[in-house]
Amino acid sequence: MIHADYKQAVAERFARPGPFGPCSELLLADRQGYLTEGSRSNLFFISGNQVVSAPDERVLLGITRRYVLQAIADAQLELTVDLLTLDDVRRRGIRTAFLSGSPIDLLPIRAIEDLPMESAHDPFFIKLYKAYMQLVQNYIDQHRVQ
């Protein structure tokens, strides 16, 4: 259920630039400050070979997410289910995060608030991105109309 006040708050936040310029997505946090997902995407963090995601019951489950989880396994990375606050991300020194969704596939995050990220250059993100794009290509090849 979408409440009008939620939609209004999201629209108002999109209208204000962040520390690094206009926002392309908003990360949602629960009342305890745990980052769960984007306003229209799934959220993942990468720390070493671990890909961190909120528990299934806290996010929107969709087709793209299912393929991301498969790509994590195919790239031989480890899925860790955990809830993180922005303070946790800072304290753990996490500098890679990405969003997933059908219109964006996997999108590396450049910054979260005033915290710059190095997502697009992370070798584990690149490995995961290649595994995901291979799954997409396999799907296209299997469903090509002859």
Domains of the chain: 4-142 (3.20.10.10)
Q: What is the mean pLDDT of residues 19-46?
A: 89
Q: What is the mean pLDDT of residues 30-59?
A: 95
pLDDT at residue 142, as a whole number: 94
CA neighbor of 87 nearest in space, from 15, 33, 27: 33
Distance in angstroms (rounded) separating the CA atoms of residues 23 and 19: 9
Chain-centroid distance, C-alpha 81? 13
> 3-state DSSP call for residue 2?
coil
Distances (CA, A) of 107 to 3, 8, 146: 27, 25, 32
Whether residue 2 has pLDDT greater than 60: no
Give strand pairing partners of 21: 18
pLDDT at residue 23, as a whole number: 74
pLDDT at residue 1, as a whole number: 46
**Do residues 99 and 28 make contact, with C-beta atoms less than 8 angstroms apart?**
no
Least confident interval from 9-23, 44-58, 99-113:
9-23
Q: What is the mean pLDDT of residues 46-64?
A: 95
DSSP letter at 45 equals: E
Q: Which two tokens stand for residue 129?
A: 């991105």
Distance in angstroms (rounded) separating the CA atoms of residues 92 and 21: 25
> 3-state DSSP call for residue 91?
helix
The residue whose two tokens read 């993942």 is 44
pLDDT at residue 4, as a whole number: 67
Instruction: Name the residue with higher pLDDT: 66 or 13.
Output: 66
Distance in angstroms (rounded) separating the CA atoms of residues 51 and 118: 15
Average pLDDT of the residues of the chain: 91
Q: What is the pTM of this model?
A: 0.88
Distance in angstroms (rounded) separating the CA atoms of residues 27 and 43: 8
Whether residue 135 has pLDDT greater than 70: yes
Distances (CA, A) of 23 to 56, 100, 115: 26, 16, 13
pLDDT at residue 58, as a whole number: 94
